[in-house]
Amino acid sequence: MRRWLPSFILLALVWGNSFFFIKVALGSLHPLQISFLRMAVGALTLLVAVLATGRRLPRDPRLWGHFAVASVVLTTVPFTLFGYGEQHVSSVVAAIWNATTPLCTLLFALLLRSEKATAARVTGLGLGFAGVMVVLGVWQPISGGAAVGSLACFGAAACYGVGGAYMGRFITPRGEEPMVLAAAQLVAGTAELAVITPLAGVSLVEVDVPLTVWGSLFALGAFGTGIAYLLLYGIQRKVGVTAASAVTYLIPVFAAASGVVFLGEHLTWNQPAGALVVLLGIAVIQGIVPRRRGGRAAAAARAVPAETDAAA
């Protein structure tokens, strides 16, 4: 019996609705404020979990330096970019862009030569690129705001790709437990935004906001940023990183449901169609859709080491 499936579906539900909560919070808060508050709440959630399980944060200053760099490309910048992006595009479109994270991770892994360029990976990247073009609707004029929003969201996914490669090179091999790594990363990111946000002329906290916004921030931080990490690592322990990374396929589904039902957002035909092409590309890369040679199924390509914990 696959006892991990409820956690898997819950993780997709939590991350899929993160885009909905960002959209609600944008009605009253600046993207930098949303990023700071979600990370602060998420860090607090994980710190409680770390202490409750008898673990400790690392004490190596060099490792904390790596956390500072990793948090820039895995939380500080992408969280803020998704906030800016959703000022111009729907939460559903933002979730579709987030689904390109495994493609970005593979691309940077190939550039850094930490992964080999196989036929399946090249084919998958080609399909993913074609899907991105369909989502953008390159055959029709794109308004300035929509283009900027899409680029911001795609930039966030690209940051996750860089961050995944950086984590794999400098942090993960150190042997720290995933929960500790996630907590330290969020602590570093919270500290960074605590400095950057005021320097940008934005206050850290707006007290006079509706309760719905506070509720969205709590859900975004505690669940979408904190508990989601715990769910992810629990699934990885049971079924491995490859199976856990398949959560990417469900996130746009839940995002579309909440965006259309609760926010009244609309989809054009090319957006879900392009998303399906992107996901097909990821499936080819991960060996879920096997390639055939001479009538026999080819060996499945090794899965991309996607940092699915970098989802929004």
pLDDT digits (tens, 9 = 90+) for 160-219: 878 877 877 788 788 788 889 889 999 999 999 999 999 999 999 998 899 999 999 999
Tens of pLDDT, residues 12-49: 899 899 999 999 999 999 999 999 999 999 999 999 99
- 59 touches 291 (CB < 8 A): no
More confident residue, 72 or 113: 72
**Structure tokens that stand for 203 in this block:** 């206050």
- 34 touches 25 (CB < 8 A): yes
Q: Is the pLDDT of residue 140 over 50?
A: yes
- 19 touches 87 (CB < 8 A): no
- Tell me how crowded residue 110 is: count the other CB atoms within 10 A of its CB: 18
30: left (phi over 0), alpha (psi -120 to 50) or beta: beta
Predicted local distance difference test score (pLDDT) of residue 244: 65
Helix (H, G, I), strand (E, B) or coil at 292: strand
Q: Round to the nearest angstrom and report the end-to-end CA distance of the chain.
A: 30
Short-list 166, 182, 156, CA closest to 31 = 156
The CA distance from 198 to 126, in Å, is 42
Predicted local distance difference test score (pLDDT) of residue 295: 43
CA distances from 275 to 12, 40, 96, 172, 226 (A): 16, 32, 6, 30, 27
179-215 residues labelled b (16+ CB within 10 A) or e (exposed): bbbbbbbbbbbbbbbeebbeeeebeeeeeebeeebee
Helix (H, G, I), strand (E, B) or coil at 302: coil
Which residues have CB under 8 Å from 190's CB, separation 6+? 36, 39, 40, 43
Which of these ranges, 41-45, 54-58, 105-109, 267-271, has the smallest mean pLDDT? 105-109
CA distances from 130 to 17, 127, 137 (A): 26, 5, 11
Q: Is the pLDDT of residue 110 over 80?
A: no
More confident residue, 191 or 98: 191
The CA distance from 184 to 301, in Å, is 33
Residue 53's φ and ψ, nearest 5 degrees, are: -100, 10
**Structure tokens that stand for 37 in this block:** 């508050």
